[in-house]
Amino acid sequence: MSKLDETRAFIPVSIAILTVSDTRTLAEDRSGDLLAERIAAAGHWVADRAICPDEIVEIRSKVRAWTTDPQIDVVITTGGTGFTGRDVTPEAVTPLFDKTMDGFSAVFHQISMQSIGVSTVQSRATAGVAHATFVFVLPGSTGACRDAWDGILKAQLDYRHMPCNFVEIMPRLSESLRRGASKGEGRTA
């Protein structure tokens, strides 16, 4: 079973938050606020935060910029994961993935099922690794963001979480990229 190894030091990571919405502003971004609050409460840094419309080119451009920024370890998007014509976040982001994380979607839906029942099938939440950066594509509701952070990301982004976590593998994410010094090298893990 999972547990925290208190003999290990906590290692904060740098996380960027992108809210995808045609109508929200930063002042009205409850899901982005919830994620930012939880990220800070867990001891991590909010490296950047932005809102962009449901436009593939704009979403992809912002996520690509963040995944190629050596100061950002993780990107979390919220919004645009449904089935309407304007919901395009998975289409914008998944082509950037070097590797997909199928288990994230499976576990997210399992957790979400407990909150909203079978309505969870209306989400196309996904995750992967792009340019040695973890990317998580979440629905836009505060409930979905809460489920993803509290049920998955808080533990997996904690170096002390056992038996394994994302932070301990960050230094090795760029092994296949062959792009010289990566953002993870030199990290104490």
Taking the mean position of all CA atoms in its chain, how far away is CA 186?
A: 22
Q: What integer pLDDT is reported at residue 185 of this predicted model? A: 42
Collect all residues with Cβ–Cβ distance below 8 Å to 8 and sequence separation of at least 6: 159, 160
Domain regions of the chain by residue span: 12-172
Residues of the chain with pLDDT below 70 are 176-189
Say how far residue 109 (Cα) sits from the centre of its chain. Answer: 15
Q: Which CATH class is domain 12-172?
A: alpha beta
Check residue 130 and give its pLDDT. Answer: 97
Our separate counts of H helices and E strands in the chain read 7, 8
Spell out the residues 6+ positions from residue 175 whose beta carbon is closer than 8 angstroms to its own: none
Q: In what order do the strands lie in the sheet containing 14-20?
A: 45-52, 14-20, 74-78, 133-138, 126-130, 99-100
pLDDT, one tens digit per residue, over 27-36 is 999 999 999 9
pLDDT digit string (tens) for 47-82?
999 999 999 999 999 999 999 999 999 999 999 999
